Amino acid sequence: EAGVAQSPRYKIIEKRQSVAFWCNPISGHATLYWYQQILGQGPKLLIQFQNNGVVDDSQLPKDRFSAERLKGVDSTLKIQPAKLEDSAVYLCASSSPSDLQGELFFGEGSRLTVL
């Protein structure tokens, strides 16, 4: 079974530029999450999708971050304009609603450096 796929693995940009990250969840997983992990901290949820609908985006900085999952499969997270404090690893995770335990499966992450 293929895992959660993410790209790019690494990105370096200057502040005020824009960047986009892509995620393809495990096949059949209707629930998709984007997390932000700053060095030395645990992941923090940015947004949760159920199919193509947003379930929780309460911690997403909506003035600069946006995310979509148009067909209920893969998803894109965009940052525009980027700030220095956005330097972090952006992790995508998925889970299956039919899995009552709600176990999370993560991708390898996309490391963003903002100069």
Partner 1 sequence: KQEVTQIPAALSVPEGENLVLNCSFTDSAIYNLQWFRQDPGKGLTSLLLIQSSQREQTSGRLNASLDKSSGRSTLYIAASQPGDSATYLCAVRGNYGQNFVFGPGTRLSVLP
Q: How far apart (Å, rounded) are the C-alpha atoms in residues 94 and 70?
A: 16
- C-alpha 113, offset from chain centre: 16
Among residues 91, 94, 112, 114, the one that binds partner 1 under rule CB under 8 A: 91
CB 32 within 8 A of CB 96: no
CA atoms within 13 A on the CB side of 103: 3
Among residues 25, 29, 33, 94, the one that binds partner 1 under rule CB under 8 A: 33
Q: Give the residue with the Cβ less far from partner 1, 53 or 80.
A: 53
Should residue 13 be labelled a site residue for partner 1 when binding is judged by CB under 8 A?
no
List residues near partner 1 by CB under 8 A.
4, 6, 33, 40-45, 48, 56, 91, 93, 101-109, 111
